[in-house]
Amino acid sequence: MIEQRKMNAFLFAVGIALLIASSARGEVNRTEFARNAFQGTCESYTSGIYNVYARGRQAGMGIAIDEMIGEVRCAGILTAAHVIEGVTQVDVYNRGGDKFTAQIVAKDTVHDVALLRISNLGTRELTYIDIDEDAHASIGQWAIIAGHENDPLSAGIVGAVDRNFDDIRALPEDLGQLRLYYHGLRDLEIPRSFVKVFQHDANMSDRWLGSPVLAFSGSRGRRTSKIVGINVFRVARGTACAVAISEIYSSLATLAGGEDVRSENRARLGVQVRDLTPAERDSLFEIGLDGGVRVVDVTASSPARPLGGSDGLMVGDTVLTVVQEDLVDDTGREFDFRKDVFSVGGLVDTLRRKIVLGKPVRLRVLRGSSIVTLPEFMPLTG
C-alpha cells in the first residue's frame, strides 16, 4: 500500500511536470487540464451558481447562500455589487434556465458585493452553497472558477493574497502597468476600497463577475474544496481579483438586515503602507517589538502629515500602534483604546471596524531607533 502511494505520487508529479513543460510550448491548455482534473468536484457547485441579468443582458453571476451569521439568517444570491449598479430589480437564471425575479436587499460597497432576494420563488427551491467564514486563498493554489452553460469552468493560480487597495482607481505601483479592464471601474464612485483581495490568473470574461473562486487542497482521491472568494473585478493581461470570503462574512448579517455597508463608515489616514519584509521584522524582534507596517507615502491631504515640523507621520516610519483616548462606553465608563498593528490588513481592519469615528487618534511609530507617539489628529472618513 505504501509503495503504491509512492508510485501514485511519483506519477502525479511526472504528470504535473509534463503539463508545465508542454504548456510552456503552448501544447496543453491549462484550463482544459483543470477541467479534466477538477470537473467532477466542481459539478457539486454549479447548481448553486446563478446568472444575473440587469437591463436585459447578463451582468454577472452569483451564488445562492443560506447561512446563520450569529443569530441572523442570511439567505439569497450573493453577487458583485457594481454589475447591478443603478437598478433595483434583476433577473436570475439557474442552471436549467428557470427565471427568477430578485430584489436588491443591500450592498457592501467597501468590498463590492451585494445580496439579492428572490421575490417569486413560490414552490421552487434554490440550491444553496455552503461558505466557510475562515475560507481564504493561499499563494500557489489552483484557483478554479465554476460556472455553467457556456462558461463551465476556468482555472488559474493564486498569485497574491491580502492585497489592500485604498482606492481601486489608483492601482499601486507593484501592479506595474496593469489597468482596470471591466465596466470602467476607474469612473465609478464604488468600489472605493478593498480589503484582503487576492489575485489569480484564471481566464474569465465579463460574465464571471460575482462568480465563486474555488481552491483545492489534498491529493487526488482525498482532495477537498471550498469557496474562498467572489470575483469582483479583472484587469488586463489575464489577472483577476476576488474578495475573500473570510473578509466579507461578517458583513453578511448587516446585508441580510437590509442595511448597506458603506466606505463612509471607515476611517482613513491618507497614507500608503506596506507589510514588513522578513529582515525588517527580524530587526524589530531583536529590540522587543512584534511587528508593524512601513509607511511608503503620505498624501498631501493626510491629516497625519507633519505640520510645521517633524512631529507628523513620515515616509520610512513604522506604525506600531493605533491609540484613541478618553472614549466613553455605553455605561458611561471612560477608557482608552490601543491596538497594535502587525500587517496592512490589520491596520485597515482597525480603521474600518475598531476605532470610534469622529474622535481623534494617535499613532505610535518607530522612527529610526526611537519609538515616538505622534500628536493626535482627526482621521479622514470615506
Instruction: Give pLDDT tens digits for 212-259.
Output: 998 876 555 555 678 899 998 876 557 788 988 888 887 888 898 888
Rounded to an integer, the average pLDDT of 341-357 is 77
Q: Which long-range contacts (CB under 8 A, 24 or more apart) does 366-371 make?
A: 366/284, 366/289, 366/292, 366/317, 366/318, 366/320, 367/314, 367/316, 367/317, 367/318, 369/287, 371/320
**What average pLDDT is seen over the chain?**
76
Task: Name the pLDDT band for 178 (thresholds 50, 70, 90).
Answer: very low
Evaluate whether 29-45+130-261 and 50-118 have a shared fold: yes
Type of residue found at 99:
K
CATH number given to 29-45+130-261: 2.40.10.10
Confidence band, pLDDT 50/70/90 cuts, at residue 100: very high
Fold classification of 266-381 is: Pdz3 Domain (2.30.42)
The position carrying cell 446585508 is: 255
Who has greater pLDDT, 37 or 6? Answer: 37
255-310 tens-digit pLDDT: 988 888 766 556 778 888 888 888 998 999 998 998 898 988 888 878 888 765 55
Q: Domains of the chain: which residue ranges?
A: 29-45+130-261, 50-118, 266-381
Instruction: Domain 50-118: give its CATH code.
Output: 2.40.10.10
How much is the pLDDT for 52?
93
Does 261 or 364 have the greater pLDDT score? 364
